[in-house]
Structure 1
Amino acid sequence: MVRGPGGVVLERVLDDVGDVNVFFRVRAAPLDGGWEPVSGWARASGRERLAAEVHRVRGQLGALAGGGAEDVEWRVGASLFHQGLASRMLSPVLAAALCHGAGLRADLLAYQPGRSGPLALGTAQTRAVVLGEDVAAVAAWLEETVVEGVLARVEEALTGLGRISPGLLRGNTGSALAGAARALGAARRDRRADAEAVVRALLERPCLAGTGSYTGVDGAGRATLRRTTCCLYYRVPGGGLCGDCALRRSPGAR
């Protein structure tokens, strides 16, 4: 990592954290006219773009079962679009902060509406503010820039487009955060404890309170989350229950 008077050089940070998995990858380069800010979905002028993203996800899910968008309920497509977006935003912001003390700004993340593949994010941000390296500072940054920032506004826009529970969407955010911490901890073992501590801190704050909690550890010693809501993936043709789903029975339950 390189720091200077203008903060952390972000390109090198994103090159590093992007190695974790695809959800941590953000293109760091000047963005051409084919990119638009993710935050634009929250504006009235961006609702058509947001609706198109939900329709795209419905089509992708329907195709997996040999059908089309019409075979996937709107609220299911909206939920799974949101969960994917939450993962792609929280993962790099968490990793940049924990691994490099760099404040990646969610409000500057952008996407390509005319793409042919899955959602990918980029940013024209070149330098990042230097965050405190403690868990509290990282949790505060995630809350400000992602959870109560861009994602909260996108959630509000989605509930304005169709019938979907705000609590379900916020549950998706908690699940995505825990998933990001799990992936980061698996790839960077020295950051596992801090990543899980960030999740615990945010699950105790009003922004994510009641969305879920850590209930134990798996065979590799990684914390396991049980959420209090369901992302609705089970309603996709051929779908099932996710590992942290509230609809799963607890071990030993009848």
Structure 2
Amino acid sequence: MPLGALVLPHFVDLDPSLTALHRLGGFFVLRTAGGADRSLPTLARTSGPGRPDVHGDLPTTRVRRVADALGTPEERVAASVAQQGLAARLWSVALGSAALHGAVPDLAPPLLRWDPEAGAPDDLWPAGARPLPGDAGTIARLVPHGHLEPLAGALRARHRIAPGLLRGNAASALAGAAREPDHWGRRHGRTDVSARARPPAAELLAHPSSPGPEP
């Protein structure tokens, strides 16, 4: 069925600030109330070269922030943790939205503002709530292809980090994010949520996307 023929719920009508996602846990929340500081960068810039602006080199800024929080001088460890944390946030928002609403907000990198110097979990502010189909293909386009692959390339360009480790992090984050909506639906008698959570999660887990080619 062509996308134009799909009747998608309007997030603005269903949940003006997408606050329903908080029911599933902190990793599922989108920060929409009040909007983000317009000076914050978008995730589109995490994969580019370092820029001489207020935020500097975004992946490096985030890795150093995580290293400070962990108390480790080993940047490869911090890079791995930073990548897995952001992967968990993106998978959670997409899968949680698909389970609760049957659709996902547009998580395209130019539409998500992010503070690389904030604590964990990463705060994400969407530019809008345009709904997209909540199927595995859409989620794969938004999360691994839109975010995780370019992020992995940027991290590997800056740190000696194994591609297999990044792939494992992405798969682990996906598995963790996939469990929560199903468990929440079962605990709260929301069989509709569990039913919507399982198909895209199962398809994504069966065919996980690589976060970047081998060097």
Q: TM-score normalized by structure 1? A: 0.67
Map 1:1-254 → 2, pairs under 5 A: 8-10=10-12, 11-12=15-16, 14-29=18-33, 30-45=35-50, 48-62=57-71, 69-70=72-73, 73-107=74-108, 108-115=111-118, 117-118=119-120, 119-129=122-132, 131=133, 138-189=135-186, 190=191, 191-192=193-194, 194-205=196-207, 207=209
**Alpha-carbon separation, structure 2, partners of 1:150 and 1:18:** 22
The letter for the 1-side match of 2:126 is T
The Cα shift of 1:144 comes to 0.5
Cα 1:144–1:49 change in 2 (3 A) is same
Corresponding residue SS for 1:126: coil
The Cα shift of 1:165 comes to 1.3
Q: Structure 1, residues 92-132: CA drift from partner, whole Å, max 9, x if none?
A: 111112221223222222212454x3321111113323x2x
Cα 1:169–1:193 change in 2 (3 A) is farther
Higher relative contact order (CA 8 A, sep 6+): 2
| Number of aligned residue pairs | 190
**Alpha-carbon separation, structure 1, partners of 2:117 and 2:202:** 37
Larger helix fraction of residues = 2
Corresponding residue SS for 1:18: helix
The Cα shift of 1:13 comes to 6.7
* Contact 1:7–1:128 (CA under 8 A) maintained in structure 2: yes
**Alpha-carbon separation, structure 2, partners of 1:195 and 1:185:** 6
* Contact 2:174–2:205 (CA under 8 A) maintained in structure 1: no
**Alpha-carbon separation, structure 1, partners of 2:195 and 2:100:** 12
Cα 1:184–1:17 change in 2 (3 A) is same
* Contact 2:182–2:197 (CA under 8 A) maintained in structure 1: yes
The letter for the 2-side match of 1:160 is A
**Alpha-carbon separation, structure 1, partners of 2:9 and 2:100:** 15
Instruction: Give the unaligned 5+ runs of structure 2.
Output: 1-6, 211-215
**Alpha-carbon separation, structure 2, partners of 1:84 and 1:178:** 13
Corresponding residue SS for 2:165: helix
**Alpha-carbon separation, structure 2, partners of 1:80 and 1:105:** 25
The letter for the 2-side match of 1:103 is V
Larger strand fraction of residues = 1
**Alpha-carbon separation, structure 2, partners of 1:106 and 1:87:** 14
Q: Structure 1, residues 128-171: CA drift from partner, whole Å, max 9, x if none?
A: 23x2xxxxx62111111001111111011111111111221121
Corresponding residue SS for 2:160: coil
The Cα shift of 1:174 comes to 1.1
Measured on the aligned residues, the alpha-carbon RMSD in Å equals: 2.5
Cα 1:6–1:202 change in 2 (3 A) is closer
Instruction: Give the unaligned 5+ runs of structure 1.
Output: 63-68, 132-136, 209-254
The letter for the 1-side match of 2:24 is V
